[in-house]
Structure 1
Amino acid sequence: MTEDLKIPLEIPYICTLIYEAFRIPVFHLDASGGLEYALPANFSAPPSAKDTGSMLAATLRHAGETKETVYPDAASLPFIYTTRYLENFMIWRLPPGLHTAGILIAGPSMSASLTPENTASLLRDHDIPATRHEQWLNYYSTLPVLSRIRLYHAAILLYTLVTGQALSINELLMDTRTMNALPETDTSPDLDVSYRREQTWLHHDPMLEKSLFLHIRNGDKAALLQAHMSFSEEQFGLLSRKSQLRSKKNLAISSITLATRAAIDGGLFWEIAYTLSDWHIQHIEELRDIPAVENAQMMALCDFADHVRDNRRSRLSRTAALCQNYIFNHLYEELSLDRLAEVAGLNGSYLSQLFKKETGFTISDYIQRERIEEAKRLMDSSSITLSDIASRLHFNDQSYFTKVFKKYTGATPKQFRNRQGMYN
């Protein structure tokens, strides 16, 4: 994309433009990671680093951008990396074909100002001794505040200045690498409301939230990512007084709960939606820093949107989807046409014709196929015998189970399990 590209602007000039426009520190590193250019010249390193060079090296290392890393093609894009201390860095390894090489880094910056109480909570989460809190407070007070959306626009401007090419925010948001609390008080909720209004730290407009989850319901991940960028840090509530990390986890869990309902409203099988919810919440509970939680939250919301989209692509009527959902949830029970007709509220003969027309399967064949898929999942556990699997899934006998299994997989249950053992 940028092969043999000639541009009139020099990197130091571009760095100056970004610095003057956004008042954010900018650094140009050579291909070996050595510092070529820096603005401002008197930049002070954070308390977590002994100097600017070690800060940049640590940032690249933790962001997975070591000097040995080379992007596979010229389509590499800038991306945003957030440290465990909530500093934001925009990082871009310059693609091949330019007149210069190396890495551009803009940062650190903050998405929102931190109060002393927020800072103390964050530092406690990372076991920073109280004797060093004032040092961190002073450092945070020097950082520029750029909302996440402004930082993405800075990345777009940088990309365009260097390459001469347009870049949309969706391209950055869809990049797989990208994926503030109230002061602690002992006062009543009424006084907290007064404090937020005085400080203009208002919660988000409910319409923004409604729009966000509407995109999940519609299976529109691109629109979801755009809507998510409309939220600023100050608009989120405080869900733990003692820990910033706990507050972020609680917020993430709340959003996943709402996303689960939105996905079900969008037609996703409710058992799939609840299972996704359980899995993502369990994952978030295991995380130990705020950037990881925020990234996992965004990935969870996107996962719901993707599942709704994929489900909608099947273009099933509500009746056929209702039957599929019932079959999915009751594979371990006796399933009959009469029971499905009762669930769907239709005549059995008409339901059979409708289901075959929309899915390409008779109801009995579809049930068999789903039971074989479930059998394959159960085979991952060596403690469950093949005869037990057949019995659980209501196959009349082992030979019938083998016959049906081979019909859908091309192998007998024993052959399939042996193959799986080879790959595990």
Structure 2
Amino acid sequence: MKVKEGTVDELIYNICSVIHGICKLNLEFIDINDASASFQLVNSKIPDVLSDSISKTLKYIDCTLQNDIGNNIMHFTDNLQLSYLAVGFFEKSKFKGSVILGPFLSAVPDDSFVSKVLEKNNLPLVHRLQLREYYKSIPIYDFNDIKNVGLLMINLASNTFISKDIIYVSNESTVINEKESESINEGNLISDIELRYKVEKEILNAVEKGSKAEALEFKKLFRFKATHRAPNDPLRAYKNLTFSFNTLLRIACERGGVSPIYISPLSDKFATLIENISTIRQLDTLGETMVAEYCDLVTNYSTAGYSSIIKKAINHINLNYQNPISLNSIASSIDINPSHLSRQFKKETEMTITDFINTKRVNEAKYLIEQNNNSITDIALMVGFDNHTYFCKVFKKLTSLTPKEYLKKSSLNSK
């Protein structure tokens, strides 16, 4: 939470805290008179590339609410396709500030969805992976969700807030021999722990190699009773276990030769999803997704086996392929002699730097062609080719198809 001590109205904070806790979304309160009394309750980190746009959205929503005479619920969707619910907080009919909940989505963020966001906002393609992971981590609200959450917000912001402690009641009428129970539980716990560590090690070894099928087979054996860690809150116990598993997968992925540049967005996405999940069954399903996507990261971005110089060169290409880059510009960025870089790159990758760049660009172009949202010329420019003819020539050399032929083939396969 971002808040200045001693400045926040306790009533407003309690109401916002309840809304935030129930909805598991970012919440911002903007005080009309005192900026120091404004605060944020954060559930998911906003990517830096979107922060300025989202900040402008929040200010726009606040200004709109201030000029709204009625006590209404505002549903706003911005140019990033991020949605928000907002209500004014009133005290004795006087507007005190804006309660803004979000962002959330109103549609499934598939690859086409993310591509349209990038195109509409002129965002570099290099952010595609980060934004795809971020959008997949955001909850999706349908019409009923929006209506119910909006009504919750407006009622909490309009009525007297009552805070009471919860009285926990349980039925423990069935009792077995205490010593016998402890002995059984201790034996099962030791057995589960041994199995967990053995299977866990196999999963991580498979992820490190990028062996998805092998890792998923071992994941089916990964069963561990975590309820003893939080007897009164089994869901929290399993969430904590999944958080730990996410950390281990992240480490295995890095050991597999993937740069933290690519690992961090995926790790952050899963951390948000884990916290937002409401059942143990969903956590188990998410665990399989985590294993699969970390394996994919190793397969697509690993630089294992390369020297530190070539790792730096490959990461520079992956992050800048959509811009004009050359042997000299790459050598300059990693502070190495161009001739030495050229020789070493060919020796380790068995490709020239130009061929490596073109392969990267064509692979990205194939993805964009499959989305079928842009012209071939536009796609060529988006992936770093400044000449349509040269793009088609390179594309056919690497795929045996022209871009148009590839589009036709992908369209037929999708039917």
Instruction: State the TM-score, normalizing by the size of structure 2.
Output: 0.45
Instruction: State the TM-score, normalizing by the size of structure 1.
Output: 0.44
